[in-house]
Amino acid sequence: MASLGELERAVMERLWAADGPVAATRLRDELADRGVALTTVHTVLTRLEQKGFVRHDDARPRRFSPRASREEHAAELMHEVLGQAADRQAVLARFVGSVNDEEARLLRELLAGARTRDAG
Amino acid sequence: MLPATAVALAVLAALLAWPVPAALARSRWPVRDPLVALVCWQAVGLAGGLSMIGALLVHGLAPWGHSLPEAVWTVLTSRPAGTAVRGDHWVALTLAAVLAFQLVGVLVLSWVRIARTRRRHRELLELVVQPGPQADARLLEHPAPVAFCIPGARPLLVLSSGMVAELDEEQLAAVVAHERAHLAERHHLLLLPFVAWKAALPVLPAAERAHGSVRELVEMRADDVALGSLHGTAPRRTLAEAIVAAAGGQGGGAVPTGALAVSGTGVRARVVRLLEPADPLPATARWVALAGAVLLLLAPTALLLLPAVS
């Protein structure tokens, strides 16, 4: 039994791969190897809509399409990670922030200096 | 006449609002033992809030009794105040309520807001990133060398492809060990009160200072813990190299303008203490610092609960 998270990812893969809006029945057929019921597909699609990853049109039956590409979602995340405002820094623990060019040069000199001393 | 307790608490609050955090932020020993320093910072924060609210409370309740339990008991049993209740008593009580509400409220609000953003990040990650070989580590396709973790009930550790490309295997292991240390020691919880109080008391320069110091200290602590689990020939050097590579790495042109880099001094301090480690704090000094932290917490608690001297 696949977890909801895995199913969500599988559904998104299909939606991203499709060249237009996709009906839930087609998604069920494409996921046939997982033995997913149509109600499950609808549950997954509802969850994805709530998370803002998927939207549907007004056709009957409804057809679903991704709101943004995978790359756009990745970019959104990286934008938040790289452009952290002060309070956002509390959200995640980043290994190290980037410093400006001058600082980066100083840091490399620091490393090089230590290496020379180790050798000598 | 102000009760001596209120005066003592007010003096303590004043000390903890500026001179004590300033001295702690300026002193050099925290770099040698980040963990003990983090304990001290928590004590300063907690004792500061306690004595600030306590001073107002004790003064406001003075007509009803000389100590907090006595006054509360008088009010609860609906006995009349011993002396006349003046306007300044009401002002002090109101201020105490506002301050307590502000501190606790902002703490809760920060927690909720941070938790919401974390959930969003986790959702995004689970969607765009394939599960990695390790259950808790993910690989994100992005040229900028970035590593981070999202704390919480289901923590996630994320490495960007740029980071993997930039570092060798040992350096990468050092980065992962550093992030795991953040998660294992729940550093986000140590940081939370200081994030919240910086937001709650923007007028207090000490809040800003404390936040900055605690941020640096959790990074140093995570470095120390990471070193313990690394096996290479020179783990200190490996970790320092990883830090320099990640800090100096270009964002692949994707770093948003406006994204201000972290202060270089903090990164430099981390690298310096890895390359030229200072002697660890002597055991006596550690115990003195820890005892100081405990005393700092005991002082306002005792002042609040024990019968006043006056």
Q: A31-78, pLDDT tens digit by residue?
A: 888 888 899 999 999 999 999 999 998 888 889 999 998 888 888 888
Query: Among A30, A51, A66, which residue terminates a domain?
Result: A66
* Per-residue pLDDT band at B264 (split at 50, 70, 90): low
Q: Are residues A10 and A40 in the same domain?
A: yes
Please list the residues that pair with B138 across neighbouring strands: B131, B158
Q: Are residues A61 and A84 in the same domain?
A: no
Q: Are residues A37 and A76 in the same domain?
A: no
* CB contact set of A89 (below 8 Å; sequence gap of 6+): B195, B215
Interchain contact, A82 vs B251, CB within 8 Å: yes
Of B175, B198, B276, the CB nearest to A95: B175
Interchain contact, A110 vs B271, CB within 8 Å: yes
Burial class (CB in 10 A: 0-12, 13-18, 19+), B6: buried
Q: Are residues A83 and A29 in the same domain?
A: no
- Angle among Cα A21, A26, A30 to the nearest 5 degrees reads 115
Comparing C-alpha atoms, which of A76, A8, A65, A85 is closest to residue B120?
Answer: A76
Q: Exposure pattern of B81-116 as b/e (b: 16+ CB <10 Å)? A: eeeebeeebeebbebbeebeeebeebbeebbebbee
Q: Are residues A54 and A36 in the same domain?
A: yes
Listed by number, the residues of chain B in 50-69 with a beta carbon closer than 8 Å to a beta carbon of chain A are: none
Is pLDDT of A21 > 60? Answer: yes
Contacts of the segment B125-134: beta carbons below 8 A, 24+ positions apart:
B125/A77, B125/B150, B125/B156, B125/B158, B126/A5, B126/A8, B126/A9, B127/A8, B127/A9, B127/A12, B127/A53, B127/A70, B127/A73, B128/A70, B128/A73, B128/A74, B128/A77, B129/A74, B129/B158
Q: Are residues A86 and A114 in the same domain?
A: yes
Specify the residue for token string 């199913």: A7
d(CA B226, CA B172): 11
Model confidence over B172-212: pLDDT tens digits? Answer: 999 999 999 999 999 999 988 898 888 888 888 888 889 88
Q: Are residues A55 and A20 in the same domain?
A: yes
Q: Are residues A62 and A93 in the same domain?
A: no
**Best to test chain A binding among B118, B126, B127, B175 (most A CBs inside 10 Å):** B127
Among B71-80, B174-183, B300-309, the minimum mean pLDDT is found in B300-309
- Angle among Cα B80, B84, B89 to the nearest 5 degrees reads 100
Q: Are residues A59 and A89 in the same domain?
A: no
Q: What is the pLDDT of residue A73?
A: 87
Q: What is the pLDDT of residue B24?
A: 93
Chain A residues with CB under 8 Å of B182 CB are 93
CATH number at residue A23: 1.10.10.10
Give whole-number Cα distances, B112 to B87, B117, B119, B192, in Å.
37, 9, 11, 11
Of B121, B198, B262, the CB nearest to A97: B262
Model confidence over B123-154: pLDDT tens digits? Answer: 888 888 876 656 667 888 888 888 888 888 88
Q: Are residues A49 and A10 in the same domain?
A: yes
Number of independent structural domains in chain A:
2
Asked whether this complex has an ipTM greater than 0.85, the answer is: no
Q: Is A108 on the interface with B (CB under 8 A)?
A: yes
From A39's Cα to the closest Cα of chain B, the distance in A is 21
**Best to test chain A binding among B124, B156, B163 (most A CBs inside 10 Å):** B124
Q: Which domain holds residue A50?
A: 4-66
Q: What is the C-alpha end-to-end distance of chain A, expressed in Å?
A: 61
Q: Are residues A48 and A8 in the same domain?
A: yes
Of B149, B241, B254, the CB nearest to A92: B149
Chain A residues with CB under 8 Å of B218 CB are 93
